[in-house]
C-alpha cells in the first residue's frame, strides 16, 4: 500500500498531468487560452435569431469548414452553457496524437465517435444519446467532414435524424458560422484575423411521420436560409 502511494506521488511529481485534478485544471486553463486566442483573431459575435442563450438542453447543428468551428461556438456560449455543451468530433482525427487526444478529450470534453463503420466498436448515435442522457448539450456537424468545396453545405449525414428520432423532446438549434473557413482553412497552421459571426436560428424538431430524407432536407434548408439571413 505504502509503496504504491509513494510510487503515485513520485509519478505525480514527475508528471503532474497524471493527477486527474491537476489535469482538469490544466485542461480548463488551456480551454480558456484557446477561447481568448479565438476571440482575439475573430472578434466573434453571437447573433441570436429565434433562440436565446438559455440553459436548456439542446443539440446545436452547424456548418463545418474549420477545426476552429466548435471553439468559436463554444466561446460565444455563456459560461454556464459552455460547461454543459460537448462537441461531437471524429475519434479517427482527435485520437491520433497525444496532444490531439488531450485537447479532444480533456480540453473540449468531446464525444468522440469513429466515422468508419468497419472499425468502430460502438454506435455513434448511441454515444450521442448517452451524452444527452447525462444532461449535456451537443454541438454536431451533420456534414460529417470539413467542407472544402465552393458549395455552402455538403449533404447531411444521417446521424442528426437518428438522434432526433431517439430524443424528439430535445430542440435542434441551427447554427451558422460565418467566415471562419477564411480564418483558418484546412491545412493552414496560422490563422489570419477576420471578423466572424455565429448565428443561432429558430429551434426545430423531427415531426412525427417525417421521413429521413424529408427531415434532412428540411434541416439543410433551414441552415442555408439562416446563412442568408446572417449575411444581410
Partner 1 sequence: MADSFLFLLGCVLAVLVVATGIGRYLVFKSGPDGPSLTVDNLNARINAWWAMVALTALAFLAGKTGVVVLFAICSFAALREFLTLTNIEIADHWAIAAAAFLVLPVQFIAVGMNWYGFYSIFIPVYAFLLMPIFSMFSGETDNFLVRIAEAQWALMISVFCVSHVPALLSLDIPGFEGRNLFLIFFLVVVVQSSDVFQYVWGKLLGKHKIAPKVSPSKTWEGLIGGVATASALGASLYWITPFTVLQAIGMSVVITIMGFLGGLVMSAIKRDRGVKDWGHLIAGHGGFIDRLDSVIFSAPIFFHIVRFYWDVH
- 195 binds partner 1 per the rule CB under 8 A: yes
Quick one: 10 or 43, whose CB is closer to partner 1? Answer: 43
- 188 binds partner 1 per the rule CB under 8 A: yes
Asked if residues 84 and 134 have their Cβ atoms less than 8 Å apart, the reply is no
Task: Please tell me the distance from the alpha carbon of residue 20 to that of residue 38, in angstroms, as a whole number.
Answer: 26
- 192 binds partner 1 per the rule CB under 8 A: yes
From the list 49-57, 98-106, 121-129, 180-188, the region that binds partner 1 by CB under 8 A is 180-188
- 36 binds partner 1 per the rule CB under 8 A: no
Grid cell at residue 188: 493552414
- 19 binds partner 1 per the rule CB under 8 A: no
User: Is residue 205 packed enough to be buried (19+ CB in 10 Å), middle (13-18) or exposed (0-12)?
Assistant: middle
Q: Which of 8, 18, 22, 45 binds partner 1 (CB under 8 A)?
A: 45
Smallest gap from Cβ 194 to partner 1, in A, equals: 5
Chain mean position to CA 91: 13
Rounded to the nearest 5°, which phi and psi values hold at 105? Answer: -80, -55
Length of the chain: 232
Q: In what order do the strands lie in the sheet with 197-200?
A: 45-48, 197-200, 171-178, 58-62, 137-140, 85-90, 111-113
Quick one: 7 or 36, whose CB is closer to partner 1? Answer: 36
Smallest gap from Cβ 43 to partner 1, in A, equals: 6
- 185 binds partner 1 per the rule CB under 8 A: yes
Residue numbers at the binding site for partner 1 (CB under 8 A): 41-43, 45, 179, 182, 185, 188, 190-195
Amino acid at each position: 500500500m505504502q509503496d504504491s502511494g509513494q510510487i503515485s506521488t513520485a509519478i505525480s511529481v514527475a508528471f503532474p498531468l497524471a493527477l486527474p485534478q491537476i489535469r482538469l485544471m490544466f485542461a480548463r486553463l488551456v480551454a480558456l487560452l484557446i477561447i481568448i486566442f479565438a476571440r482575439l483573431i475573430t472578434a466573434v459575435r453571437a447573433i441570436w435569431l429565434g433562440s436565446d442563450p438559455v440553459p436548456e438542453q439542446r443539440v446545436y447543428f452547424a456548418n463545418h469548414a474549420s477545426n476552429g468551428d466548435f471553439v468559436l461556438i463554444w466561446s460565444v456560449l455563456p459560461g454556464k452553457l459552455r460547461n454543459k455543451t460537448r462537441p461531437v468530433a471524429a475519434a479517427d482525427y482527435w485520437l491520433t496524437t497525444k496532444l490531439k487526444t488531450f485537447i479532444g478529450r480533456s480540453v473540449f470534453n468531446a464525444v468522440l465517435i469513429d466515422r468508419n463503420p468497419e472499425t468502430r466498436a460502438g454506435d455513434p448515435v448511441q454515444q450521442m444519446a448517452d451524452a444527452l442522457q447525462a444532461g449535456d448539450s451537443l454541438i454536431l456537424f451533420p456534414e460529417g467532414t470539413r467542407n472544402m468545396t465552393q458549395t455552402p453545405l455538403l449533404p447531411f449525414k444521417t446521424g442528426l435524424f437518428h438522434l432526433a428520432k431517439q430524443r424528439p423532446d430535445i430542440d435542434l438549434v441551427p447554427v451558422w458560422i460565418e467566415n471562419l473557413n477564411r480564418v483558418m482553412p484546412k491545412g493552414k497552421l496560422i490563422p489570419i484575423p477576420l471578423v466572424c459571426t455565429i448565428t443561432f436560428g429558430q429551434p426545430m424538431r423531427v415531426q412525427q411521420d417525417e421521413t429521413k430524407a424529408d427531415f434532412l432536407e428540411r434541416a439543410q434548408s433551414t441552415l442555408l436560409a439562416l446563412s442568408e439571413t446572417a449575411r444581410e
